[in-house]
Structure 1
Amino acid sequence: MKYTVLGAGAMGLRYGVLLQEAGFDVDFVEIWQPEIDKINEQKIDKINEQNGVYVSRDHKDKHLVPINIYTPEEYQGDPDVWVVFTKQMQLADALKRTAHAFKDHQYVLSPMNGMGHIEKLNNYFDKQRVIGATALIGTVLNGPGDVDFIGAKGAGSMNMANETEKPDETTNQIVEDFTKANLNPTLTTNFLGTLMAKVIFNSVVNTLCTMFEIQMGEFIQSPVAEKLSRQLINEAFDVCERAGIKLLNSREEEWQTVKFVSTTTNPLHYPSMYQDMSKGRNTEVDYINGYIYELGLKYHYEASTHDYLRNLVYLAEFARDFDPKTLTEKVTV
Structure 2
Amino acid sequence: MKFTVVGAGAMGLRYGVLLQEAGNEVEFVDAWEPHVNKMKENGGVYVTRDRQNRHLVPVKVYTPEEYTNTDADVLIFFLKQMQLADMLERCKHFFTPDQYVLTGMNGMGHVKKLLNYFDGSKLIAGTALIATILKAPGEVDFVGKVGAGSMNLANYTEEPDEMTHKVVAELAKANINPTLTTNFQGTLMAKVVFNSVVNTLCTLFEITMGEYAAFEKADELSLALINEAYDVCERAGVKMLNSRQEELDTVNYVSKVANPLHYPSMYQDMSKNRPTEVDYINGYLVDLGRKYNYEAHTHAFLTNLVHLAEHTRQQRQN
Shorter chain as normaliser: what TM range? over 0.9
Pair 227,106 (structure 1): closer, same or farther in 2 beyond 3 Å: same
Q: Does 1:39 align with 2:39?
A: yes
SS in 1 for 2:44: strand
> Pairwise mapping of residues 150-229 of structure 1 onto structure 2 (< 5 A)?
150-229=143-222
Pick the structure with greater CA Rg.
Answer: 1
Partners of 1:17 and 1:234 in 2: CA distance: 37
> Pairwise mapping of residues 298-309 of structure 1 onto structure 2 (< 5 A)?
298-309=291-302
Residue 324 of structure 1: how far off its partner (Å): 7.7
Cα-to-partner distance string for 1:132-163 (whole Å, 9 max, x where unaligned): 11000000011111000001110000000000
Partners of 2:277 and 2:234 in 1: CA distance: 24
Q: Does 1:7 align with 2:11?
A: no
Q: Does 1:118 align with 2:111?
A: yes
Among 48, 57, 70, the residue aligned to 1:56: 48
Cα-to-partner distance string for 1:95-147 (whole Å, 9 max, x where unaligned): 00000000000000110000000000001100000111100000001111100
SS in 1 for 2:107: coil
Indicate the larger mover: 219-228 or 187-196.
219-228
Residue 32 of structure 1: how far off its partner (Å): 1.1
Residue 31 of structure 1: how far off its partner (Å): 1.0
- Structure 1: gaps (5+ residues): 43-50, 326-333
Q: How many residues align?
A: 317
Q: Does 1:143 align with 2:129?
A: no
Partners of 1:323 and 1:58 in 2: CA distance: 32
Partners of 1:259 and 1:229 in 2: CA distance: 9
Partners of 2:224 and 2:301 in 1: CA distance: 12
SS in 2 for 1:322: helix
TM-score by length of 1: 0.94
Partner of 1:75: 67
Structure 1 runs (4+) deviating above 4 angstroms are none
- Structure 2: gaps (5+ residues): none
Cα-to-partner distance string for 1:291-327 (whole Å, 9 max, x where unaligned): 00000000000000000000000010011110487xx
Using the aligned pairs only, state the percent identity.
Answer: 64
Cα-to-partner distance string for 1:141-198 (whole Å, 9 max, x where unaligned): 1111100000111000000000000000000000000000000000000000000000
Report the RMSD for the aligned CA atoms in angstroms. Answer: 0.8
Among 302, 310, 316, the residue aligned to 2:303: 310
SS in 2 for 1:120: helix
Among 264, 280, 285, the residue aligned to 1:292: 285
